[in-house]
Amino acid sequence: MTVVLDSWAVLRYLEDAGPAAEAVSDLLGREKPLMSWINLGEVHSVLRRLHGEDAATETVRDLRDVIDARLPDERLVIDAARIKAGHPMAYADAFAAALTVAVDATLWNGDPELLVDGSSWRWRDLRS
């Protein structure tokens, strides 16, 4: 099973918060999940606000060793825009969903905006 992580999942992992952190840690011990660079940039942004530029940059660099970060191409940008147009979610979240669909994966997250029954992407709720 291919797994895509969104920023919510990675931030919970970094915070060592709840069942999400444990699930992501176990996953990283077994395989190298995918993540959009858009979502990885969101992780950097949150960490920079909380801990400063150096800590954010170092953490993203370390994450690149265990996560397969994907740059969006034109098709993924348009697919994300279509998902965003059809669902009330942040644009960055739409990139996680679009990447998940593009690679026929399962999106691990806990963000209610992405836990959409009947969506075109498969998801796993990491909140419990």
For the chain, list the domains and their CATH numbers.
3-125 (3.40.50.1010)
What integer pLDDT is reported at residue 120 of this predicted model?
Answer: 95
Query: What are the tens digits of pLDDT across the range 87-109?
Result: 999 999 999 999 999 999 999 99
What integer pLDDT is reported at residue 123 of this predicted model?
Answer: 98
Return mean pLDDT, the chain.
Answer: 97
Nearest residue to 60 via CA among 29, 95, 35, 23: 35
116 pLDDT higher than 90: yes
- For the entire predicted model, the pTM comes to 0.95
Query: What are the tens digits of pLDDT across the range 17-37?
Result: 899 999 999 999 999 999 999
